[in-house]
Structure 1
Amino acid sequence: MATANAPSPSGSQLSEAQDFLAKYRDVEAIDIILTDFHGIGRGKMIRRHELEGIYKSGRGLPSSIFGQDVSGEDVDDCGLVQTGGGGDCRCWPVPGTLGYLPHTGRGQLLISMYEEDARPHDVDPRNVFGAQVKRANALGYHPMGAFELEFYLVDQKPDASGLYRPASYTMTKRRSPLRNTMSVDEIDEMSPLFDAVYEGAKHLDLTLETLISEYGPGQYEMTIRYRDLMRAADDVIIAKRLIRTVARRFGKEAVFMPKPFGNEAGSGMHLHLSLAGKDGNNLFADQADGSLSPLMLHAIGGIRGTIGETMLLLAPFMNSWRRFASAMYSPASDDWGVENRTVALRVPGTPGKTRHFEHRIAGVDANPYLVAAVTLGAALDGIEGKIDPGKPCEDEIGAAKAPNDLPRHWLDAIDHFGASEFNKRTLGARFHTAFTKIKQAEYEQMAQKVSAAEWEYYGFSV
């Protein structure tokens, strides 16, 4: 049983806390962060003297955190609210995630939830994904990957009409209405903000790499270094909070809603994935004759067969579905291809030992642990079943595609998710039931909200 001074079930070591406190002697507070179903950080701000105690005996938090909707309201019938008398479960540090945010002056630590007998709590999203990592390890595979993050920067205050606008530049205070796609000068004008982001990343074991101005005004993309897939999912949680907290201190807001502006590009969270063997070599590497790895093709085949059932995790909110209104670079499909950005599962064209594939459907609002869980779970199913992915798609951008049977809207995705045996098996029955109930409740809440556009179009006309 995990009690005071018992070994941490997460594998965290007290020396990590001691090293941090010795290095950052002026830090007086640390944010401890448990990631909920929606990818939102819930937790506490603790004082410096409390940090070592979390490494020695964990910290209690209510498991009902996982029974909340996106606004933090309890969903009473999800099965996770006030269970077992409403008592706390114990949370332990995620090894390697204790870091410092220089712009806040505070530390930051990811935590994960465990039962009192040290078993991983079955509905913590990080543990849900961890079960699939353990499955991969048992088969001799080590999952590797990275996520790309697209997001908007907007001004903190709305304009006179009540609408938010793409952010003015931090250096010049100028505002451009143009797309400026891949403009290096646009990045330069916003560089004080991004310099602070990169500086913060140095203290968080977070290797942020390429930065570009994306397709929409005020939209940017940052890539993160490829590595162990579990840490890659942790990286998303850490990076989003880093970007958000830095932007706030420059009078901006970082927006990870996938479609903040209806007539502009949506923001995705592409997942790049491969499997390494016990020797560390990439098992998706091309064959000696230059052909694609059968293992990778089987993985793609497994994912293709489950995309429709997992769309609710890839596009979890009402706004998520606005991103699919245009198929341009937002493939709501189940096809695959080589060096083709119109498809859902893209194999980048660079051949050789670094071969991998890219899952392009998820929005930047998705929970990275859950995206990784169903992607890896389906890939393993495909490998075990030797599932043929079918012929690669060779369509050009803008070409009409054959219709598919994927969900077409949020409610349809909720129904598909709830009926899925794959989801129940991969995510666990209790998580599957709770997530379905929470999303049903969220849909019902949103369905009651009448938008300004409805008043404009229908209020005095019909």
Structure 2
Amino acid sequence: MSQNTSFAPSGADFAEAQAFLEKYPDLQAIDVFLTDCHGIGRGKTVRRHELEGIYTSGRALPLSLFGQDVRGVDVDESGLVMTEGGGDKRCWPVPDTLGYLPHTGRGQLLITMFNDDGTPVEGEPRPALLRQINRAKAMGLNPMGAFELEFYLVDPNPGPDGRFHPASYALTKRQSHQRNTMSVDELDEMSPLFDAIYEGAAHLGITLETVISEYGPGQYEMTIRYRDLLHAADDVIIAKRLIRTCARRFGMEACFMPKPFGTEPGSGMHLHLSLADENGTNLFADQPDGSLSPLMLNAIGGLRQTVGDTMLVLAPFLNSWRRFASTVYSPASDDWGVENRNVAIRVPGQPGKTRHFEHRVAGVDANPYMVATVTLAAALDGIENKTDPGAPCQLEMDAQKAPSDLPRSWLEAIDRFDQSAFARNALGQSLHTAFGAIKRAEYEHMVQEVSRAEWDLYGFTV
């Protein structure tokens, strides 16, 4: 095999591919994909001998992938469809994302798109995050983070009532409709699936940590190890695909829709974030007198000012807004507090050197790159402007909260996002324009659909 390690603008080195192919000599295919604005992987499955060329010459894919709705349908108003004659752009590997999925027998590689001059394509979400990270580093700050993923495991076949239900356990094949919150026995009954997920994570180079049985029947949560923010967002893309593909091998589907069951809890994607100095010291750590870091408080102040502008990023689909119908563990607000799970920005209670904040608004359907981008951009704005976060919320879970400045519907979120200078500056003009246009097209598509619930309620009554 060639020793060519020609320059890749992504920083990828062919030595990584060589080591991978030597480690897995029988592997014959690799799933190669980039991440669109919905967090969906778009790409190709290539054969073993093609991997060298991807590292040394890149692989062409259409720019219009970033101008498509969730179905993969082009949205002309995005500004990314049929630009420059509809030609392709060259994609290169994301370093340290080449891994092996043992349950599929294939490799997996994240790629990212570049212009002919070697600059990142502005319509892609990952480079938007990288720009904000570089901004932070210019300020002497290194963003660190981790995401928590909540999801349901669902039987892929509807029941006799025509509706979907929680999946049967992988070990016992029983099906439970009980909550079983934090039940270790429930985890044991699903353990063959989770064992396969953890095995896959080890091959893919991500560290999945705690798994718990969540509040809803068939709902689970997995946490991912804290690390630099860019790779933390990469980890979400890798982990969601790992969980989904493993679940299929056990006859079930992993559902990352944030509110699949109207009467059950929604699924969030909480982002834990802090800032470190060049030596890795946590700059959000408590002060010597035990008080909270002024830097962290300014960052929270910046977030409070921008949550409303970014709700479309945090809740990008029609179903996302069902999650806010109940405030139980789903904070439809712009407030903050210490050890309070009913606020948007929570400061976990444990004191000391590991202090950070948890942004709790995003659903598990949100794009992690875009969530991290707007969160970091808002935090940096708050730090630069020394923004006061205001008093922390002290209310209990069921107490009446003050009205917030958040949009109250998907359409209102689309309108506010389109008009937001903050969102445009954080994401870049191209991504901002495309995302707003795509979401408006999806809204217009969905309002034409008449649901079963509408027929049941109104069809032969009004």
The alignment's TM-score, normalised by the length of structure 1, stands at 0.99
CA distance in 2, matches of 1:433, 1:224: 31
Tell me, yes or no, if the aligned pair for 2:5 and 2:15 is still in contact at 8 Å.
no
Per the alignment, residue 310 of structure 2 pairs with 310
RMSD of equivalent CA atoms: 0.8
Question: What does 1:212-227 align with in structure 2 at a 5 Å threshold?
Answer: 212-227=212-227
Q: Deviations over 1:193-228 (max 9, x none)?
A: 000000000001110000000000000000000001
CA distance in 2, matches of 1:189, 1:423: 44
- Once the two structures are TM-superposed, the CA of residue 6 in structure 1 deviates from its matched residue by 4.1
Per the alignment, residue 269 of structure 1 pairs with 269
Per the alignment, residue 333 of structure 1 pairs with 333
Tell which deviates more after alignment, 248-257 or 420-429. 420-429
Per the alignment, residue 438 of structure 1 pairs with 438
- Once the two structures are TM-superposed, the CA of residue 156 in structure 1 deviates from its matched residue by 1.5
1:139 and 2:115 are equivalent in the alignment: no
1:122 and 2:122 are equivalent in the alignment: yes
Letter in structure 1 aligned against 2:134: K
- Once the two structures are TM-superposed, the CA of residue 431 in structure 1 deviates from its matched residue by 1.3
- Once the two structures are TM-superposed, the CA of residue 78 in structure 1 deviates from its matched residue by 1.4
Per the alignment, residue 154 of structure 1 pairs with 154
Tell me, yes or no, if the aligned pair for 1:244 and 1:253 is still in contact at 8 Å.
yes
- Once the two structures are TM-superposed, the CA of residue 252 in structure 1 deviates from its matched residue by 0.3
Letter in structure 2 aligned against 1:128: A
Per the alignment, residue 452 of structure 1 pairs with 452
Per the alignment, residue 360 of structure 1 pairs with 360
Question: What does 1:355-394 align with in structure 2 at a 5 Å threshold?
Answer: 355-394=355-394
Per the alignment, residue 231 of structure 2 pairs with 231
CA distance in 1, matches of 2:19, 2:5: 18
Question: What does 1:1-400 align with in structure 2 at a 5 Å threshold?
Answer: 6-400=6-400
Q: Deviations over 1:37-67 (max 9, x none)?
A: 0000000000000001111011100000001
Name the SS for the 2:358 alignment partner: strand
Q: Deviations over 1:433-453 (max 9, x none)?
A: 111111110000000000001
Name the SS for the 1:203 alignment partner: helix
CA distance in 1, matches of 2:5, 2:446: 46
Tell me, yes or no, if the aligned pair for 2:5 and 2:13 is still in contact at 8 Å.
no
CA distance in 1, matches of 2:445, 2:276: 44
Letter in structure 2 aligned against 1:226: Y
Q: Deviations over 1:156-209 (max 9, x none)?
A: 111122211001101111111100000000000000000000000000111000
CA distance in 2, matches of 1:153, 1:177: 12
CA gap of 1:5–1:205, structure 2 versus 1, over 3 A, is: closer
Per the alignment, residue 461 of structure 2 pairs with 461
Tell me, yes or no, if the aligned pair for 1:27 and 1:106 is still in contact at 8 Å.
yes
Count of residue pairs the alignment pairs up: 459
Tell me, yes or no, if the aligned pair for 2:5 and 2:14 is still in contact at 8 Å.
no
CA distance in 2, matches of 1:296, 1:126: 25
Letter in structure 2 aligned against 1:238: I
Q: Deviations over 1:328-361 (max 9, x none)?
A: 0000100000111111000001111100000000
Tell me, yes or no, if the aligned pair for 2:80 and 2:123 is still in contact at 8 Å.
no
CA distance in 2, matches of 1:390, 1:206: 37
CA distance in 2, matches of 1:138, 1:10: 20
- Once the two structures are TM-superposed, the CA of residue 311 in structure 1 deviates from its matched residue by 0.2
Letter in structure 1 aligned against 2:404: N
Q: Deviations over 1:361-387 (max 9, x none)?
A: 000000000000000000000000000
CA distance in 1, matches of 2:429, 2:28: 41
Aligned identity (percent) is 71
Letter in structure 1 aligned against 2:59: R
Letter in structure 2 aligned against 1:295: L
Tell me, yes or no, if the aligned pair for 1:5 and 1:57 is still in contact at 8 Å.
no
Name the SS for the 2:204 alignment partner: coil
CA distance in 1, matches of 2:405, 2:347: 23
Structure 2 spans left out of the alignment, 5+ residues? none
CA distance in 1, matches of 2:405, 2:351: 32
Tell me, yes or no, if the aligned pair for 1:30 and 1:109 is still in contact at 8 Å.
yes
CA distance in 2, matches of 1:206, 1:163: 34
Letter in structure 2 aligned against 1:80: L
CA distance in 2, matches of 1:393, 1:420: 26
Tell me, yes or no, if the aligned pair for 2:29 and 2:48 is still in contact at 8 Å.
yes
Letter in structure 2 aligned against 1:438: I
Name the SS for the 1:89 alignment partner: strand
Q: Deviations over 1:244-264 (max 9, x none)?
A: 000000000000000000000
The alignment's TM-score, normalised by the length of structure 2, stands at 0.99
- Once the two structures are TM-superposed, the CA of residue 5 in structure 1 deviates from its matched residue by 6.5
Q: Deviations over 1:21-44 (max 9, x none)?
A: 000011100001100000000000
Per the alignment, residue 423 of structure 1 pairs with 423
- Once the two structures are TM-superposed, the CA of residue 303 in structure 1 deviates from its matched residue by 0.5
CA distance in 2, matches of 1:299, 1:402: 22
Would you identify which runs of 4 or more consecutive aligned residues in structure 1 move more than 3 Å?
A: none
Letter in structure 2 aligned against 1:287: Q
- Once the two structures are TM-superposed, the CA of residue 123 in structure 1 deviates from its matched residue by 1.1
